[in-house]
Amino acid sequence: MKICVAGLGLIGGSMCMALKRAGYQVDGYNRSQAPLNYALKNGVIDNAAQSFDSYDVVFVALPPRPTVNFIINTRFKEGAIVADICGVKKYIEDAVYAANPDIKYVGTHPMAGKEVSGVENACADLFDRASMVVTRGIYADERAINTVKSLTKDMGFARIVECSAELHDRKIAYTSQLAHVVSNCYVNDPEIDGCLGFTGGSFQDMTRIAGVDENIWSELYLLNGDNLLEKAETLHKSLGNFIAALKEAKQSGDAEEIRKNLTVGATAYRNGKANNFTGDGITVTELK
């Protein structure tokens, strides 16, 4: 099986390394030369791709709009499987199928990453113990999906989560995009100056992802804007409820309203809702 990864950043580079660890030969492509040179020099890839019409599987690890342009305008081998790894799925799926409903396209999203970017930070074990989301479109090809699922297992993922592109985007607005927004907003406080000696694990958890690439993430937010706006408004309402409870408690001198407000979230967490893989429209396959 001939495999190519187009886009040699953190995720694309790590996919190359994970596939090579599993015994595959993997070629690579990048829009700029420096990451490609690094990948060749350091054995992240075996060869630089000159064209894409000889590969059985092409993973596209580019931002959303370049991903669509690449898939639509590239000549692939007949029957080749083309899988993207973007953090939004409906936008990609709609654009690809509108251009070519016969393409063997599979939407994927590796649920792994770091607070740093670039192929120099890629590693073969990035996906170990992680989930891979695989979306099924109206023109989904079972052979293509099964091939991607097999490669997912070989890359070391712990589970495969299958759902629609719509469900993926709704979930990811909450589990990933909103978390990044909250982290970014959290550091927009003048108290951050000189706080290093006062921080512990909770501060590190809250701020770890505040400095991610704003060029990439702003596009992801825009393309999933309806879902993200809904989740942000829900968070805004919850913060409003806490502020009201705090103000009432300050007036009464009694912390009961604060306690009742905190109990709502604490109960949801203690009931295991945050650790539940199941749900309507979701199929989970444990790989290890």
Mean residue pLDDT across the chain: 95
Quick one: pLDDT at residue 274? 67
Q: What is the pLDDT of residues 118-150, one digit of tens each?
A: 999 999 999 999 999 999 989 999 999 999 999
What average pLDDT does this structure show over 160-184? 97
Q: What is the pLDDT of residues 256-272, one digit of tens each?
A: 999 999 999 999 888 87
Of 129, 164, 199, the position where a domain reaches its end is 164
Does residue 62 sit in the same domain as residue 111? yes
- Asked if residue 284 belongs to a domain, the reply is no
Give the C-alpha separation, 149 to 283, whole Å.
13
- Asked if residue 73 belongs to a domain, the reply is yes
Quick one: pLDDT at residue 68? 98
On whether the CB atoms of residues 14 and 127 are closer than 8 A, the answer is yes
Does residue 181 sit in the same domain as residue 148? no
Does residue 156 sit in the same domain as residue 185? no
Domain that holds residue 112: 3-164
* Helical pair 142-154 and 10-21, crossing angle rounded to 10 deg: 80
Does residue 18 sit in the same domain as residue 157? yes
Does residue 210 sit in the same domain as residue 150? no
Q: What is the largest CA-CA distance in the chain?
A: 73
Does residue 18 sit in the same domain as residue 132? yes
3-state class (DSSP) for residue 81? strand
| CATH, residue 180 | 1.10.3660.10
3-state class (DSSP) for residue 175? helix
Does residue 9 sit in the same domain as residue 146? yes
* Contacting residues for 123 by C-beta, under 8 A, at least 6 apart: 14, 17
| CATH, residue 72 | 3.40.50.720
**Pairs from 67-70 (Cβ < 8 Å, separation ≥ 24):** 67/92, 68/92, 68/95, 68/96, 70/6
What average pLDDT does this structure show over 87-116? 95
Quick one: pLDDT at residue 273? 65
Q: Other CB atoms closer than 10 Å to residue 285's CB: what's the count?
A: 14
Q: Is the pLDDT confidence value at 276 over 80?
A: no
